[in-house]
């Protein structure tokens, strides 16, 4: 009897089929039992294994044996699953089960997913190099080839799957024209979506051997195009640094975005330098004069890095560590490391001969650091909580001004743990205030509830903060009373935030939206709340969704309103036009 042998392509398709079934199973499991943020403790690692396990196997299987590919895919996805478990555990707040709906949670999930993808992309070429040579010595030339191959292959998976689904959409649409809806119903079921998507990715990877030369050609073209931009990037660096002594640093800090721009410029120079150097075997595309010009820019690169470090240090000194600043520090640290390394390579004789060794060492450091971020070693939530508590206890911020809400709703388990420690604090200035506010924060189930701890303005203060339009219109004091009552009830929602904060006068437009002879009041601050008088009571009925993104500050709206440039657009509830902005009423109960 002949022995059945599974080919590389067949094993890759099987891996894709298994991935589709596992992803579908996880979806059905969540659907049947519901989802709570505490479930991330096991769901995050399961999804990590389900996504990265088969994908890593397929990327390796094109060249290596099934056994080798399975072992290394298990190791890589297993390590990332451990970091996912820590991420899931640290997200759990223990007292706010609905927190997973918040923007902070969603942002954290996206950051974790992105960081995991970066780690996976960095570690895969090292695994391929290790398997190919069976020794822990990494050739930069091989790492360079593998990294570009993986990048283009991954891009091809997205393109292939996108075209695949576009064709299925055409297929279903054509038959719908003939009143045959079977295919559209089939293609939109989650069973088909999961299995077909996973299989399409596996098919795209399995075709690599047939299109390997095309991938090499694309890589050469992309690098050649990028390389031509390096002299321009070098010129921008030198021109900016030459201008800086005349403009001064204060203008730089006043922008609020200088650090991000300088980081972007450094990153562009680093990427473009690698596009020119590649693996060090290609002939140089520039004259000796241009190469000298580029060297000068690389030698000057650490100056930009030091400015970024300085700016970040100023912010941390003023406001302490936050999650955003921890990530900013990691990014600044790596860009600064690259800048120093490329400067060192530029001052040596020859054309950046040590670049390969430097890139390899930094890549390994990137892997180690990003893995540590999702462990207790370098957890941004723990670092941020510790820093903010230190600022409170050392008197850098008053107990009444401290942001307990940030601990409660932004820092997951670390923030909740810190608040519980504050509940027990004694022998500390303002200890009673700290304990009461920490307890109040822990008892909150939604972020808006934190604002109930703040001062509620009087009806007279609210009235003074309102600029009612059209000018000369008398304000209905029942409206002021209704808004004041919402605040007293702890109903601090973002609809009345501008009236409560009192940072500046708030424009309110009185206009009849439903043609009942009585005006509605529209607060011209995001999210443009609409209040209507029903009987003798003013009630919040919804908000206006405008068609311009630049209305978030309300300045253009208020100016147009002051110029009497507004009108209602007939509808059951009329639309509203102010200047060039049009908005629709979005009812609260819809």
Domain end marker among 373, 404, 421: 373
Orientation angle between helical segments 230-247 and 258-277, nearest 10 degrees: 150
Q: What is the pTM of this model?
A: 0.72
- Let me know if residue 1 belongs to a domain: no
What was the pLDDT predicted at 196? 95
What is the separation, in whole angstroms, between the first and last Cα of the chain?
A: 68
Contact, 304 vs 241, CB < 8 A? yes
Domain count, the chain: 4
Tell the residue number behind the tokens 């759990």, with chain if given.
Answer: 92
Contact, 21 vs 195, CB < 8 A? yes
Distance CA 323, CA 110 (A): 14
What ranges in 352-430 are assigned the alpha helix state H? Answer: 355-373, 380-393, 404-410, 412-423
Contact, 364 vs 421, CB < 8 A? no
- pLDDT averaged per 10 residues, the chain (length 590): 70 94 92 77 93 95 91 96 93 55 70 94 93 75 90 92 95 91 90 94 84 78 86 94 85 76 93 86 81 92 93 87 92 95 86 84 95 92 93 86 84 89 85 87 65 65 86 86 75 61 79 83 81 84 65 65 76 71 61
Whose CA is closest to 48, among 28, 29, 22? Answer: 22
Contact, 483 vs 499, CB < 8 A? yes
∠ CA 300-303-309, rounded to 5°: 150
Domain end marker among 373, 401, 417: 373
CA trace torsion 105, 107, 110, 112 (10° rounding): -70
Residues 263 and 290 placed together within one structural domain of the fold: yes
What was the pLDDT predicted at 554? 59
- Let me know if residue 546 belongs to a domain: yes
CA trace torsion 371, 197, 12, 1 (10° rounding): 140
Phi, psi of 581 (to 5 degrees): -105, 135
- Let me know if residue 223 belongs to a domain: no
Q: How many CB atoms lie within 10 A of CB 185?
A: 12
Residues 15 and 160 placed together within one structural domain of the fold: yes
- Let me know if residue 385 belongs to a domain: yes
Distance CA 49, CA 376 (A): 21
Residues 434 and 532 placed together within one structural domain of the fold: no
Contact, 93 vs 413, CB < 8 A? yes
Q: How many CB atoms lie within 10 A of CB 253?
A: 15
Tell the residue number behind the tokens 């703040």, with chain if given.
Answer: 454
- Let me know if residue 396 belongs to a domain: yes
Whose CA is closest to 78, among 50, 103, 102? Answer: 50
Residues 73 and 206 placed together within one structural domain of the fold: yes
Residues 63 and 140 placed together within one structural domain of the fold: yes
What was the pLDDT predicted at 390? 92
What was the pLDDT predicted at 3? 59
Residues 437 and 517 placed together within one structural domain of the fold: no
Domain that holds residue 498: 459-587
Both tokens of residue 376? 């207790």
Whose CA is closest to 355, among 338, 332, 380? Answer: 338
What was the pLDDT predicted at 101? 46
Residues 434 and 575 placed together within one structural domain of the fold: no
Distance CA 222, CA 139 (A): 22
Residues 58 and 23 placed together within one structural domain of the fold: yes
Residues facing 523 on adjacent strands: 508
Residues 209 and 276 placed together within one structural domain of the fold: no
- Let me know if residue 3 belongs to a domain: no
Distance CA 545, CA 541 (A): 13
Residues 123 and 270 placed together within one structural domain of the fold: no
306's CB contacts (< 8 A; 6+ apart) are 336
Quick check: helix, strand or coil at residue 210?
Answer: helix
Residues 510 and 569 placed together within one structural domain of the fold: yes
Whose CA is closest to 88, among 384, 367, 327, 374? Answer: 374
- Let me know if residue 354 belongs to a domain: yes
Q: Using CB atoms within 10 Å of the CB of residue 204, give its burial: 0 to 12 exposed, 13 to 18 middle, 19+ buried.
A: buried
Whole-Å CA distances, 464 to 158, 225, 461, 506 = 56, 61, 5, 9
Both tokens of residue 316? 């941390």
- Let me know if residue 153 belongs to a domain: yes
Residues 437 and 470 placed together within one structural domain of the fold: no
Quick check: helix, strand or coil at residue 533?
Answer: strand
Domain end marker among 355, 373, 391: 373
């Amino acid at each position: 009897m002949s022995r059945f042998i599974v080919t590389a392509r067949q094993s890759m398709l099987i891996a894709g089929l298994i991935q589709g079934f596992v992803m579908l199973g996880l979806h059905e499991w969540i659907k049947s039992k519901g989802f709570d943020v505490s479930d991330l403790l096991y769901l995050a690692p399961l999804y990590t294994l389900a996504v990265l396990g088969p994908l890593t196997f397929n990327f390796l299987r094109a060249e290596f044996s099934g056994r080798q590919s399975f072992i290394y895919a298990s190791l890589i996805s297993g390590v990332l699953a451990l970091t996912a478990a820590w991420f899931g555990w640290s997200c759990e707040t223990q007292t706010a089960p609905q927190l997973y709906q918040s923007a902070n949670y969603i942002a954290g999930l996206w950051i974790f997913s992105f960081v995991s993808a970066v780690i996976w992309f960095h570690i895969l070429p090292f695994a391929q190099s290790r398997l190919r040579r069976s020794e822990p010595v990494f050739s930069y030339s091989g790492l360079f080839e593998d990294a570009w191959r993986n990048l283009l292959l991954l891009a091809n998976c997205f393109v292939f799957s996108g075209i695949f689904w576009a064709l299925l959409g055409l297929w279903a649409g054509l038959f719908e024209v003939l009143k045959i809806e079977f295919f559209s119903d089939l293609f939109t079921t989650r069973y088909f979506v999961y299995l077909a998507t996973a299989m399409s990715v596996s098919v795209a990877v399995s075709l690599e051997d047939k299109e390997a030369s095309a991938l090499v050609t694309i890589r050469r073209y992309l690098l050649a195009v990028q390389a031509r931009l390096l002299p321009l990037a070098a010129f921008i660096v030198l021109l900016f640094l030459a201008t800086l002594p005349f403009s001064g640093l204060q203008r730089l800090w006043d922008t609020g975005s200088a650090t991000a721009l300088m980081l972007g410029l450094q990153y562009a120079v680093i990427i473009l330098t690698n596009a020119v150097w590649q693996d060090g075997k290609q002939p140089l595309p520039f004259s000796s004069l241009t190469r000298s010009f580029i060297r000068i820019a690389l030698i000057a690169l650490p100056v930009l890095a030091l400015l970024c470090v300085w700016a970040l240090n100023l912010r941390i000194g003023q406001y302490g560590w936050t999650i955003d600043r921890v990530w900013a520090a990691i990014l600044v640290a790596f860009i600064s490391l690259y800048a120093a390394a490329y400067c060192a390579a530029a001052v040596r004789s020859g054309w950046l001969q040590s670049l390969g060794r430097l890139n390899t060492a930094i890549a390994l450091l990137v892997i180690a650091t990003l893995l540590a971020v999702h462990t207790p070693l370098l957890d941004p939530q723990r670092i941020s909580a510790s820093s903010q508590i230190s600022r409170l206890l050392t008197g850098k911020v008053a107990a009444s001004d401290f942001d307990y809400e940030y601990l409660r709703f932004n820092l997951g388990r670390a923030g909740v743990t810190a608040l519980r420690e504050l509940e027990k604090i004694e022998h500390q200035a303002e200890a009673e205030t700290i304990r009461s506010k920490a307890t109040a924060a822990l008892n909150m189930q939604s972020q808006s509830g934190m604002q109930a701890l703040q001062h509620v303005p009087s009806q007279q203060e609210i009235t003074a903060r309102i600029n009612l339009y059209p000018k000369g219109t008398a304000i209905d004091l029942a409206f002021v009373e209704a808004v004041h009552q919402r605040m007293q009830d702890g109903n601090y929602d973002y609809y009345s935030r501008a009236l409560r904060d009192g940072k500046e006068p708030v424009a309110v437009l009185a206009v009849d939206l439903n043609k009942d002879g009585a005006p509605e009041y529209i607060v011209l601050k995001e999210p443009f709340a609409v209040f209507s008088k029903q009987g003798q009571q003013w009630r919040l009925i919804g908000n206006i969704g405008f068609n311009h993104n630049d209305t978030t500050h309300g300045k253009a709206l208020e100016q147009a309103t002051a110029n009497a440039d507004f009108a209602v657009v007939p509808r059951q509830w009329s639309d509203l036009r102010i200047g060039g902005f049009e908005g629709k009423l979005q009812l609260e109960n819809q």
